[in-house]
Amino acid sequence: MASAIPIENLYYLLSYAWDHFHEGDEVDVSSSACPDLANLLAKVLSAGIHRLSRSGFEQHYLPVTEVTPRLRGRIQVADSYRRMTQHSGRMICEFDELSGDTPANRVLHATASRLLGIPELTAENRHELRLAREQLPAVSQIRLTESSFHRIQLHRNTRRYGVLLSICRLVHLGLLPDEQQGSRRFRDILRDETVMHRLFEDFIRNFARRHCSGAYVRAMPIDWHGEWNAEAEKVLPRMFTDVTIEWPERKVILDCKFYKDALVTRDDRHRLHSSHLYQLNAYLQNKAMHSGWEKVEGILLYPAVDHRTAVEMTLLGHRMRVISIDLDRGWRDIHDDLLSVVTS
């Protein structure tokens, strides 16, 4: 289902999911410029690297040991005399040198190189990505692994790397070796429900944060209301909402489901997913035991292509809605529909 989403809408979904939606950041993501996800990621990555080159790449100090006629830093007198470097007018010095060879820049370089190795890229995107890679500082060559991302510590001065590193991680998940051609191919990661569910959930949460004025938006743990012993405590499942929207006078728990259809067909009848309804009901009933949450509302939200579902009901005193958002429409229509869901 996700592969049927227009590439322009995927760009907006990813931009929100990675909390980097800025209307002024114009990137040509039309179907001609980006016929598939691999080209979309290459296009956005090269544009992001170009922006970093203008604002300045991350740098940090690296320890350097050098035999030099120019005295600087810490002079290693004993080592210099042992090696007799003083006879040639030089000494061994240790000092810190500012360098762009940082973990984040290494990941950007490695990702650009891996993307350049796949056959799906258009000639234009390949050219732009190659130019972007040349703008990166000289870095140590690394083999891109999951641990490569764990070594990166983002802080206030390097927050602008966040969206690019998200792209790099998605590329890392999607690239597979092609044994026949000796290169790499990009698998249809959009069919991976685990990956797409996370992206859809982050998309909805950050959309709500941006557009729900006066609301506190977050993912929230919910405690079970009841009594149990220590053995039951060990096996009791955790409850954690996808999106909770909290206004002073209104509370909404929104559960995102990346399923093809909001309804299932059984015995020639369309019905709601019972497990989804049970899960949301458990959230509402247990959270309603807390003061101020007695009238908490619930929403089951599904992405959709070529169909819409809108069902509303009241169960055990709580308003519940089951809604699908058609991602095959123009972005402005999606924006308006989703805005009505999270604010109505």
Q: Does position 220 have pLDDT exceeding 50, yes or no?
A: yes
Task: Report the alpha-carbon angle 137-187-329, nearest 5.
Answer: 95
Task: Give yes or no: residues 115 and 185 share one domain.
Answer: yes
Mind listing the pLDDT tens digit for each residue in 32-68?
A: 677 788 888 899 899 999 989 998 998 888 888 888 8
Residue 187: pLDDT band (50, 70, 90) is: low
Number of domains in the chain: 3
From 122, 128, 117, 167, select the one nearest 31 (Cα to Cα): 122
Same domain, 28 and 118: yes
pTM summary value: 0.77
Last residue of a domain, one of 163, 191, 219: 191
Are both 44 and 164 inside the same structural domain? yes
pLDDT tens digits along 303-323 = 876 667 888 999 999 999 999
Q: What CATH number is given to the structural domain containing 295?
A: 3.40.1350
Other CB atoms within a 10 A radius of the CB of residue 344 amount to 9
The least confident of 157-171, 230-244, 313-327 is 157-171
| Percent of the chain predicted with pLDDT > 70 | 86
159 and 24 fall within a common domain:
yes
Any residues with CB less than 8 A from the CB of 284 and at least 6 apart, and which?
253, 296, 297, 298, 315, 316, 318, 320
- Residue 89 CA to residue 98 CA, distance in Å, equals 26
- Does 198 share its domain with 245? yes
Summarize pLDDT for 88-146 with one digit per residue, the tens. Answer: 888 889 888 888 999 999 999 999 999 998 888 999 999 999 999 999 999 999 988 88
Q: Are residues 166 and 44 in the same domain?
A: yes
Question: What is the rounded distance in angstroms from the CA atom of residue 296 to the CA atom of residue 298?
Answer: 7
**Structure confidence by residue, pLDDT tens digits, 5-30:** 777 788 888 888 887 665 445 566 66
**106 vs 168: CA distance, rounded Å:** 11
Query: Do 40 and 183 share a structural domain?
Result: yes
Amino acid 252: pLDDT: 97
Q: What is the pLDDT of residue 265?
A: 65
Do residue 226 and residue 307 come from a single domain? yes
Of 2 and 266, more confident: 266
pLDDT at position 133 = 96
- Of 43, 76, 99, the residue at which a domain comes to its end is 99
Say yes or no: 185 and 323 in one domain.
Answer: no
The band of 182, judged by pLDDT with boundaries at 50, 70 and 90, is: very low
Chosen domain end from 191, 209, 227: 191
Give whole-number Cα distances, 21 to 207, 257, 282, 322, in Å: 9, 22, 33, 27
Residue 243, pLDDT above cutoff 60: yes
Residue 177 confidence class, pLDDT cut points 50, 70, 90: low
Q: Which pLDDT does position 185 carry in this prediction?
A: 61
pLDDT in the model for residue 62: 82
For tokens 């405590």, name the residue.
Answer: 233
Mean residue pLDDT across the chain? 85
Assess whether 80 and 200 both reside in one domain: no
By the 8 A CB rule, do 64 and 95 touch? yes
Parent domain of 306: 194-343
Burial of residue 148, with CB atoms counted within 10 A of its CB: 0-12 exposed, 13-18 middle, 19 or more buried? buried
10 and 64 share a domain?
A: no
Residue 141 in tokens? 């060559």
Statement to judge: residues 318 and 212 lie in one domain: yes
Highest mean pLDDT among 2-11, 83-92, 262-271: 83-92
